[in-house]
Amino acid sequence: MADKLIIVESPSKANTIKKFLGGNVKVVASMGHVRDLPKSKLGVDVDNNFEPQYINIRGKASLINSLKKEAKNAKIVYLATDPDREGEAIAWHLAYLLDIPEDSICRVTFNEITKETVKESIKNPRKIDKNLTDAQQARRVLDRIVGYKISPVLWKKVKRGLSAGRVQSVAVKLIVDRENEIIAFIPEEYWNIYVGLSKNEEKFIAKFYGLDGKKVELHKKEEVDGILENIKNGKYIVKDVKKGEKKRTPAPPFTTSTMQQEASRKLGFSIKKTMQVAQGLYEGVKVEEKGTVGLITYMRTDSTRISEEARASAKNHITQKYGTEYYENRYYKTKSGAQDAHEGIRPTYIDLEPEKIKDSLTPDQFKLYRLIYNRFIASQMSAAIYDTIAANIDVNNYIFKANGQTLKFKGFMTLYVEDKDEKTNEDEESKMPELVAGEEVKKEKIDPKQSFTEPPPRYTEASLVKALEEKGIGRPSTYATIISTILDRRYIQKEQKQLVPTELGKVVNNLLVENFKDIINVEFTAGIENQFDEIAEGKEPWKEVVKEFYTPFAKIVEKVDKELEHVKLEEEVTDIICDKCGRNMVVKYGRYGKFLACPGYPECKNVKPFVEKIDVPCPVCKGEVHIRKTKRGKNYYICENNPKSCNYISWNKPKEGEKWSPEDNEKQIKKTTAKRKTKKSVAKQKKKS
């Protein structure tokens, strides 16, 4: 009989904790959730105050029996699932199955899985926080109601098997809206005039600003030609010079969303991959001379707060490694509305520098750990300092502006610089000569440049997470699931890291927005998230929140169902003739995108794949190039004559005039195979560790 039984979610977390605890202690894993709503029905009794009808998850009977047996044989049971709402809910369900009273002091949480923290947490257990479990229940029940009530509309009008989600549908809407903005965008012409200048052979660039001190925007070539004519024989006189100093401060420690964004930008990780790798770093890695230890604090947080112990460790590390001038004690303000239960994401042991433990980590773990480590250390370092110079240069009353800056003190940039979605050169060095007001500088050349305004960029995973966070849609713990779900449902697809709506995604989005505009919108979804927070703080009863939502929602669903009963989606008729009955085939939308079907169904059940073409001819035979998809949804390009008379096939979209040979394809296949082998070996290493 064990003195203590500790139940966590995962085996790796269990293995790490086991090694910290001596004596008669047993640590086992629940393997995530043990109870949930049934998949076969709504599972929420809407007529009985929205009582959830939980069942034991299929396939977990033997595990549950084993947990019951272990709990019966233990003197004390501690539920040490993750320290968030989802973890609290798992603990609550475990308590129910193991007959642990609700007011029992059985809940233990670890913000970091280190020996000191684990032992200290076990000394200070608490009750299960019912407010947190209620917030999770409210989310689960609401999501179930929306999904199970709206999805049948999609089955009737588009295709069986499709589904709608409360938050996922809003994420799809953002991506479709952005695509529509791009399609509708009309570029506008604008011009800039750059003049190359020099003083004592030292060259610099000035940009046209305006006339007589007033800013002038240039939209036509005629305007530019007029200015060029007026200044062609003019002298370039320095009107005034301003010198100054600019500071650039470091970014705060990572939150979940900023870690996801930065890992996407710097490492090319998907949001899902980032969370999987971070989970492994949190739960424990076997490190030489240290044993198995959690390397980072809990990775689901929207706080930038840091403990005083971690702050002191960072100070010691920075002053010893870089010097006292590189240290600055910094406090970061957590955004309003953020949950501040956990610290920002940081390394648990400052002495475990990434390079020192590289051999103990998989390549992906090393990359992410180094990112988290460097970001945290940099957050406690001094600002970078630039010397700046700005000059106005007059030529026949036309003003050109020149700006320069040189890095005087690197500060935190010695270690880490945050990436941005939109690249700027504001912190790049641009040297200028010493200028004096009243002096003339030499003109080297004038360079007028025509440009056109550009549409907003498509979302990437990183920029979508940023948008979801800014708009209050979802929470840090849900972003990875949101994006994975809409990719898996093939409502969106990735094209060179950009998120693009599929035809299926557009059809589903249009149907939902037209008929459920009060549900599938940003403001409503963000408002519900705020109500979940109120429940978590004990300010709102969860069933009242669900009731407030359900009453008008049920009426909308009933109304839409009746209105759509006799409405048929217009089908796109093609010029392709059905070879079985002679009708013109129509475009249909399935789970995997478009396909062709005979409109004579059910008499004629003929279907064909929908052939998507590109406007670039085959580089080998000049035939049509078709886009096809692998089982995993990845695009590839193939000639219409392959394999009859042409062998063109490629992962990359062909470009006009490019040359291609079968060897190019072999190189691509080898490269893809090598990537897969690397992924498999990394997965094996991770399993072993």
Catalytic residues: 298
> What distance in Å separates the CA atoms of residue 352 and residue 367, rounded to the nearest whole number?
14
DSSP 3: S
Burial (CB count within 10 angstroms: exposed 0-12, middle 13-18, buried 19+), residue 355: exposed
| Cβ proximity of 589 and 181 under 8 Å | no
C-beta neighbour count of 314 within 10 angstroms: 24
- Cα separation of the two ends of the chain: 29
> What distance in Å separates the CA atoms of residue 143 and residue 52, rounded to the nearest whole number?
12
- Using DSSP bridges, classify how beta strands 398-409 and 384-395 pair: parallel, antiparallel or unpaired: antiparallel
DSSP 112: B
List, as one string, the DSSP characters of 332-378: -PPPTT---SSPPB-BS-TTS-TTTTGGGS-HHHHHHHHHHHHHHHH
DSSP 43: -
Burial (CB count within 10 angstroms: exposed 0-12, middle 13-18, buried 19+), residue 274: buried
φ, ψ of residue 28 to 5 degrees: the values are -130, 165
| Amino acid (1-letter code) at residue 496 | Q
From 406, 429, 400, select the one nearest 205 (Cα to Cα). Answer: 400
> What distance in Å separates the CA atoms of residue 628 and residue 201, rounded to the nearest whole number?
57
* Tokens 């849609």, located at residue: 473
> In sequence order, what E strands does 125-275 have?
189-199, 202-211, 214-215, 236-248
C-beta neighbour count of 489 within 10 angstroms: 20
From 644, 640, 646, 680, select the one nearest 662 (Cα to Cα). Answer: 646
| Count of residues making up the chain | 689
CA distances from 283 to 113, 279, 295, 299, 687 (A): 7, 6, 8, 10, 13
- Alpha-carbon torsion (350, 352, 358, 362), positive or negative: negative
C-beta neighbour count of 206 within 10 angstroms: 23
| Cβ proximity of 102 and 134 under 8 Å | no
Q: Could you give the angle at the alpha carbon of 629 between the alpha carbons of 627 and 634, nearest 5°?
A: 110
Q: What is the 3-state secondary structure (H, E, C) of 403-463?
A: EEEEEEECHHHHCCCCCCCCCCCCCCCECCCCCCCCCEEEEEEEEEEEEECCCCCCCEHHH
Q: Residue 328 in 3-state DSSP?
A: coil
* Tokens 């998907």, located at residue: 270
Burial (CB count within 10 angstroms: exposed 0-12, middle 13-18, buried 19+), residue 214: exposed
- Using DSSP bridges, classify how beta strands 236-248 and 492-495 pair: parallel, antiparallel or unpaired: unpaired
| Cβ proximity of 412 and 330 under 8 Å | no
Q: Could you give the angle at the alpha carbon of 538 between the alpha carbons of 534 and 543, nearest 5°?
A: 75
